[in-house]
Structure 1
Amino acid sequence: MKKFCILSFALLSLVSCSKKENESGNLHITGNIEGLSQGKLYIQQLKDTTLVVVDSIIFKGDSHFEKSIPLTEPEVLFLFLDRGQTNSIDNSLGFFAEPGEMTIDTKLKEFYSSAKFTGSKNQALWEEFNTINKRFTEDNLSIMEKRLQNELNFNAERQDSIDKAYEKLLKRKYLYTANFASTHGEYEVAPYIALSEIANINITFLDTIASKMSPKVSESKYGKMLKEHIKDLKNNQ
């Protein structure tokens, strides 16, 4: 009987420990930066408006890495690569992290553009969104170029056409973003996209996005931020 009690206590302790480990939401990252032999990789988290270093990885001859960091819920983190040489504009990389197992593979020469992630549904949805959003960005750059050219040899009719093209593009981007966020309310990427891409859209759209969030997402970091943002907008009306 005594042995049974001891065994039962041990099992309960094991279950309790496992539960605590799961609740801690640890993120285990493995990856490879092809071509990197020397350098340091910083894992950063945005707190308020400042990037704070969560952890770091030193590379000495092996481009593969592995790291576990505490993460209680899905959140956008950043990787900053210190190459140990000259600085590069291709040193920073954002990704939508999730508790559990994630893999990151990229290349030293194309740190940002070659990055591939697995293990995060939020990241996959973010990439899907950015594929279309990139087209809006490219179209916007084209419009900006036309606007600058017109300023050099101003034509009022041409300027009016450029302004209308911009308004049409902005409307398309906003509607696409609002629809994407509304249809993916069970993932934390939805309120994040709303806040980062269309925070100044009509409140009606933001209300719709918020109403589509699942209870879990609604109480997440970005869910709470979106609800607070909507509240502030309404108070300032």
Structure 2
Amino acid sequence: MKKVVCALLLATGALFMSCNKDNAKGNLTVTGNVDGFKQGKLYLYQIQDTVFKAIDSLTIKGDSKFKFTLNIDSPEVFFLTLDRGHTNSQDNQIMFFAEPGQMTINTTLKNFYSDAKVTGSKSQEVYDDYLKTRSLIIEKQNNLLVDIFNAEKENNITKKDSLNNLSKKLTIRKYLNAVNFAITHKESDASPYIALTDLYDANTKLLDTIYKSLSTDVLKHKYGKQLDEYIKERKAAEAQAPQVQPTSTEAQQ
């Protein structure tokens, strides 16, 4: 299970395995358009047994529209990946939260990720809302890093320490934001996904709280099951870990 969590965390850096053309029928259809994309390939990736695997591909020749059809048991994250050919561009992948039904992904060749508009998935809408709350905190952290760097250049130790303390508070805030969002959105499959990716190193009791808050349907779905398995593994590892003996002072307290 820890390998699954690692695979989720490394999602944006993952690339190619093999393609599968056996998805002619399914309960999910993903259509869209990559404006400006005239020739090349689009791949659809999925995490299978901790490995990113290309489950389908489509060759683009002139028409920038695309369509993928597949079967999924429950809402799940997939990755639409663009093969630009001979280019150093890193803007080649769109993560999207798929669920049974009809989905649309429209974007551009120039800004494949940042211009992407994904519709047709409630799970995607919830996850987008989470990313917005997280990005506000991350932006403040990035600004603080600049201020800390300038304080170092000025050799202003007092200012640097103050900024570092503020940075730590923002880290805690980002962490608590993820916890609160996951618990508040217990009906969404985005909640266990957030727990597995952004809270994987959280206290086991906290992960347990998130898990127990999830709706019955989400508990039956892919990420609900993975979160349950991950928590059980964490508890088993903690039970086997050597216990730290308290000092004589701690024992008296």
Q: TM-score range by the shorter chain?
A: 0.7 to 0.9
Q: Is the CA contact 1:38–1:84 (under 8 Å) kept in the aligned structure 2?
A: no
Residue 63 (structure 1) aligns with: 64
1: distance between equivalents of 2:70 and 2:26? 9
Matched, 1:26 2:30: no
Residue 88 (structure 2) aligns with: 87
Quote how far apart the aligned CAs of 1:31 are: 0.6
1:172/1:107 Cα in 2 relative to 1: closer, same or farther (>3 Å)? same
Quote how far apart the aligned CAs of 1:143 are: 2.5
Quote how far apart the aligned CAs of 1:73 are: 1.4
Q: Is the CA contact 2:77–2:95 (under 8 Å) kept in the aligned structure 1?
A: yes
Q: Is the CA contact 2:28–2:70 (under 8 Å) kept in the aligned structure 1?
A: yes
Question: Larger relative contact order (C-alpha < 8 A, sep ≥ 6)?
Answer: 2
Q: How does 1:105-124 map to 2 (within 5 A)?
A: 105-124=106-125
CA distances 1:187-225 after superposition (whole Å, capped 9, x unpaired): 211000111112222333322211111122112221122
2: distance between equivalents of 1:104 and 1:131? 19
The farther-off stretch of 163-172 and 103-112 is 163-172
Quote how far apart the aligned CAs of 1:113 are: 0.7
Residue 97 (structure 1) aligns with: 98
Residue 192 (structure 1) aligns with: 193
Quote how far apart the aligned CAs of 1:37 are: 1.0
2: distance between equivalents of 1:86 and 1:171? 39
- Counterpart of 2:101, as a letter, is G
2: distance between equivalents of 1:204 and 1:140? 27
Residue 210 (structure 1) aligns with: 211
Query: The residue matched to 1:236 in structure 2 has which SS?
Result: helix
The farther-off stretch of 159-168 and 113-122 is 159-168
Quote how far apart the aligned CAs of 1:151 are: 4.1
Residue 142 (structure 2) aligns with: 141
1: distance between equivalents of 2:147 and 2:229? 38
2: distance between equivalents of 1:49 and 1:162? 38
Q: Is the CA contact 2:26–2:69 (under 8 Å) kept in the aligned structure 1?
A: no
Question: TM-score, length-normalised on structure 2?
Answer: 0.78
- Counterpart of 1:144, as a letter, is L
Q: Is the CA contact 1:96–1:122 (under 8 Å) kept in the aligned structure 2?
A: yes
Quote how far apart the aligned CAs of 1:164 are: 1.4
Unmatched segments (≥5 aa) in structure 1: 1-23
Unmatched segments (≥5 aa) in structure 2: 1-24, 239-253
Query: The residue matched to 2:176 in structure 1 has which SS?
Result: helix
Q: How many residues align?
A: 214
CA RMSD across the alignment: 1.9
